[in-house]
Structures are given as structure tokens and as C-alpha cells.
Structure 1
Amino acid sequence: MPKFGTRMGRILASVAAVAVVAGCSTANSAPGDRADDGTPLVLTTFTVIADMVRAVGGDDVRVESITKVGAEIHGYEPTPSDLRNAASADLIFDNGFGLERWFEDFVATLDVPHVVLTEGIEPIAISTGDYQGLPNPHAWMSPIAGQTYVDNIVAGLSELVPDAAARFEERGAAYRNELQGVAEQLTVFLAALDPDHRLLVTCEGAFSYLARDLGLDEAYLWPVNSDTQGTPQQIRKVIELIQDRNVPAVFCETTVNSASQQQVASESGAEFAGKLFVDSLSEPDGPVPTYLDLLRYDVNLIADGLMQ
């Protein structure tokens, strides 16, 4: 995966002298500082897993996401304030599988433990492009794999706050049951879907795990978000596949430009059926304020598009 450029090096140098004091708490502490009541601060790398940690952690921890709503997670560039806030954290959760290409250098200067949430998940390899053979990082898009995320969250929080371990396990069990319910709903969708339409076409290859759960084939314009999104060759290949399979709808993700996929829809005759949420939740008053909402929203949008 790509390494940081000089900007990250400058940021690391600029905060090195102040990071050691970032954990000090005051009455007017900034976001990222420990709460006045001593509640442990837990950071996550993006909003989706922040919501998962909140669901398990409840009032026993305070959870913040390093990246904000709408951020593109792959190429995120941390700010000095991100590093200062992270230095005051008690625990950091990251996705792993190469998703956060900035994370290794981000935590290199910090004495903060972190938990990798994809630990124990069998990866699906990226099949094309510069990252061919590496794990597809978007495992949370599967409600089955999401249950392993919950297990890892329970374990991490229980080690951080042993006195609350029973509460973490209770909340985790309830959360796993909800995810299992979403997984079971997928079988209903699959049973009603025309076999000829079982192809999920997106901009980024972010749906390998969900496609596996749904029993769908997968096609995309690029495997991982990068500076080159949708070459003429990639676009032509996808258009021909859509026409061969008579697929009624294509999709893109909310955090990337959908222009290439709009072109695919126009030239293939398929409908551009909308944008799917992957790397980020919406604002609280938006359509996917939680991880469970994200899964249900995406499955419903895919179903509406492919069952035409």
C-alpha cells in the first residue's frame, strides 16, 4: 500500500513536542481529551466502526471517530489535531486489511494500544489492479463478518475496562443478534431475485463481502479508491458485462465521484439506481445514522435496483 508523503512527515514533526501533554484534562478540554468524569476515551478510524463501538460500549466509554462523516477513508491525511487527540486516547480501534493506509504511521509516535477489528475474518482477495492479491478491506459490509467486529470490540473494551466486561458482553450479544437478523433478511432478497440479474455493479470494489452473503457476482470500475478512477478500458469492460447479463441497475458510493458510473449507465442502458453508503455514515438526521441503518439502506437500494 502507498506510504505517506512529506505532508505526513511534517505533521508528525509538528506535533511531537506537544503530543505528550495532549492527555491532560482541564475544565475546558477540547474534543479528544479525557472526559472530566474519567470515562475512557476510545477512538476509531472512521464513523462506521465508531457507531459499532458505541453500541457495545454504552456509557462505559466515550467514543470519537478520527475521520468525520463523508470522509474518504483510504487516502485520509491526519491533521495535527488528530494526533493530539489520539495521544490522549485510552484505546484506538482500526479496521485493518490495509483500509487505513495512513494508520501505521499515524500511531507510530503514540503510546496508545489499538485493536484491529478484522482479526479472525477470512479475507477476500482483491482480484485486479495494483492491489491484486491483498485483502479487500471492506469486511464490515457483511453482517456476518460484522459479528466478528463485535466480538473484537467486546474483547478490546473488556480489557480496557474489566469492571464493565459483563455489560460489554451483554450489549455485544444483543448487537450480534441484530446483525444476524439483517443477514437472514438477505436470504429473502436473494430468493426473489432473477438469477440473470445477480450482478452487483459499483464504482469501487467495496462489496465483495456483501456480494458473497447475497450470492451475487460483482463488477466494479476500480478495485480500491485511488487517483485513477475508471479507465476507458475498465468502463468498456463493465458496460459489455452489463449488456451481456442484461443487468437493470448500477450503483456508486457516496464518498466518490459517480461520473464514470453515470457514463456506464448511459452507454449500457442500465439505470443509475443511486449511491450506496460504505466508508461513512450520514449525519444523524440522514438516511444512515448507524451501521445497522447503513446495511439495511444499501440492501434495500440494491434490491430495488436489481429487482426491476
Structure 2
Amino acid sequence: MSLLRPFSLLLAALALASSLPASAAERIPVVASFSILGDIVANVGGDRIAVTTLVGPDEDAHVFQPAPDDIKAVSRARLVVVNGLGFEGWMERLAQSANYRGDIVIASAGINARERVGDDDHGDHDHDDHHHHGKDDPHAWQNPQNVIVYTRNIAAALAKLDPAGADAYRKNGEAYVGKLQELDRWASQQFAQIPDARRRVITSHDAFEYFGARYKVRFLAAQGVSTDSEPSAKQVAALIRQIRTEKIKALFFENMSNPKLLQQIAREAGVTPGGKLYADALSRAGGPAPDYLALMRYNVGQLLEKIRLN
């Protein structure tokens, strides 16, 4: 009987090992394109994966230029997760430079994409293919219902890569979906208290169309979908007139955008800026938006405070 006990312990150890990633000493390396997506991936993957984010907190993916460390991270990854919808115009060349041969998961696959507010409406710009978005607005994460789709796509991709962890990814994903649904209900209730006519906001660039459609908020922006677009003087003047005519008081900078243009507009329109919104990137640790759920709650609070003044 005593001889069977070590054998039983060995079997138990083998069973445990089979439920862990291939190398128990190392989590599965996964690369996410930008900080918001990296947080979503981490919530689904849990302690089975190690997430590297290419475009970090408070950084702008629209003007991102990969560095040698980014090439190394992609070359070592077993899975790369991107937003899609043309957001990462630099990813194809980065994957080629890294000689990456794994799957590239498009987190937004299956959502009902909104057509972007054309950058052509914001003046003549010289966009190269590196940052061009195409016809779809890529900022789909601004609607929590879309992030539910992201979450399930990521869970499915991780389960395919690591079948032993499929149940863990499913459970993690559904737990996160529950938090997203709670967030969405809360945000809807908050905006329901504000008359539609007051739900008007000025931002740096067109990053909030999905948010606006979900919560019936009208966003006007100085720039187009990409932060590397430049509006004409005529368009800036028209926006200033509109702010004055409609008496819009809710004007916000974005954490990853240059504030100079919006500062000029605020001065000329006689509006006091309402602070900062987190559009395309999380805050750094210790800031008000270190994860996606906190980002959305913070933005809703900021918007409501100013919208009530309209």
C-alpha cells in the first residue's frame, strides 16, 4: 500500500501539470496592441498568460512608431491581439519585421462597426498608409457592449492556443462580461437623468462616436478619427461659432492628444475646459483610469458634471 502512495502522488502531479501552460515556469506570452486592449486581454487570460502592451498608458496609437523592443516582444509572442478596424496601421509591418508566424486576433471581429466621420471633413491632410483608418471608426471599445464581443473573441482565441486552459478563459471571460453589463446599465441610468438637448460635448478628436450612439450624447471634435489629422482654419472657426451659438459648456482634452488646438478653441469660444477624458489609452497606475472599467466610469462622471451646465 505504501508503494502505491508515491505512484498516486505522481499521477496527481502529472494531472496538475497538464492543466497548466506548456511551461509552468513561464506564462504564455501574449502581445496586445494598446493599453485598453491589454487590460481586457489580461482579465480574460488571468494568471495563465503574460501580456505585453505595445502602446502604453497615456500614449497615442495613431502616431505610434515601433521600437526594437516592440519587435522583440512580437517575435516572442505566441498570440497577438489587435483592435482591428484599421486602428493599427503599423501592425502588419511590425509582424513582418518580427518574423511573427502566429495568429493575430482581431478583437473587434463581429461588431456592428460605425462609419467614421471622414477625416476629409476636417481639412486636407497628408495621411500615409501607416496610420490611415479606412471607412470604419476604430474606437469601438467606447461602447461596453462591443467590449463584450472583444472579450469573447479573446477567450476563444486563448482557448484555441491553450486548450488546457479553455475552461479558465471561459470563466474569466464571462465574469468580465458581467462587469461590463453592470457598467453599461449604470452608465445608461446616469445619462437617462439628463435631457437630450444638454448632451453635447466638444473633444479633441472623433473617438467617442460609439459612446455617443450608445448613450445618446452628441460629440463634436476639432480633429477627425485620427489625431494626426489637421482641421482647416475655416473648420475651426465654424466649430467656435457652433459652440457659441449652442452655448456648449462641455469641452474636454484627451489624455493622449496635444491640447494646443482645443486650448485655442476654448479661448476663442469663451469656454472653460472641463478637464481630461481618457479616449485611446489608460492612465498610468495610480491615475483615475488604470483599467477599462475605471476609465469608463471616470469619463462618465466627468461628462455628466459638465453636461449639466449646458
TM-score by length of 2: 0.84
SS of 1:250's equivalent in the other structure is: coil
Structure 2 CA distance, aligned partners of 1:105 and 1:167? 33
1:35 to partner: Cα distance: 7.7
Match of 1:55 in 2: 43
Instruction: Give the match for residue 32 of structure 2.
Output: 44
Tell me the residue number matched to 2:209. 208
Could you tell me how far apart the structure 1 residues matched to 2:49 and 2:102 are? 16
Partner of 1:268: 269
TM-superposed CA distance for 1:268, in Å, is: 2.1
SS at match of 2:226: coil
CA contact (8 A) 1:196 1:245 kept: no
Unaligned stretches of 5+ residues in structure 1: 1-33
CA shift for structure 1 position 36 = 7.3
Q: Cα distance, 1:133 vs. partner?
A: 6.7
1:164/1:227 Cα in 2 relative to 1: closer, same or farther (>3 Å)? closer
Pair 1:127 & 2:123 matched: no
CA RMSD across the alignment: 1.9
**Partner AA of 1:289 in structure 2:** P
Give the structure 2 partner of residue 31 of structure 1. Answer: none
Question: Counterpart of 1:113 in structure 2: which amino acid?
Answer: D
* Deviation of 1:196 (Å): 2.2
Figure out how many residues of one structure are paired with residues of the other and give that number.
275
Where 1:271 maps in the other structure, the secondary structure is coil
Matches of 2:83 and 2:256, distance apart in 1: 18
Q: CA–CA distance in 1 between the matches of 2:133 and 2:297?
A: 29
Decide which of 91, 98, 104 is 2:79's aligned counterpart: 91
How many angstroms apart in 1 are the aligned matches of 2:163 and 2:24? 20
- The residue aligned with 2:101 is 111
CA–CA distance in 2 between the matches of 1:300 and 1:67?
A: 26
- Opposite residue 121 of structure 1, the aligned amino acid is I
Match of 1:258 in 2: 259
Structure 2 counterpart SS, 1:65: strand
Equivalent pair of 2:44/2:169 in contact (CA under 8 Å): yes
**Post-superposition CA distance 1:96-141 (Å, at most 9, x none):** 0111111111113321211001100111111222479711101011
Instruction: In structure 1, give the amino acid aligned to 2:118.
Output: T
**What SS does the aligned partner of 1:222 have?**
coil
Give the 3-state SS of the residue equivalent to 1:44 in structure 2.
strand
Check conservation: 1:204, 1:252, Cα contact below 8 A. Answer: no
| Paired residues of 1:125 and 1:132 also in contact (CA < 8 A) | no
Structure 2: runs of 5+ lacking an equivalent: 1-21, 121-131
Q: What CA distance in whole angstroms lies between the structure 1 residues aligned with 2:235 and 2:165?
A: 50
Residue number in structure 2 paired with 1:279: 280
Q: Name which structure has the greater RCO, CA cutoff 8 Å, separation 6+.
A: 2
1:273 is paired with a residue whose SS is: coil
Query: In the alignment, is the contact (CA less than 8 A) between 1:127 and 1:133 conserved in 2?
Result: no
**Pairing 1:99-248 to 2, within 5 Å after superposition:** 99-108=87-96, 109-130=99-120, 134-248=135-249
Q: What is the rounded CA distance, in whole Å, between the counterparts of 1:228 and 1:167 in structure 2?
A: 42
Question: What is the CA deviation profile of residues 139-195 of structure 1, one whole-angstrom value per residue up to 9, with x for unaligned ones?
Answer: 011111111111111111111111111111111111111111111112222222133
TM-score, reference length from structure 1 = 0.84
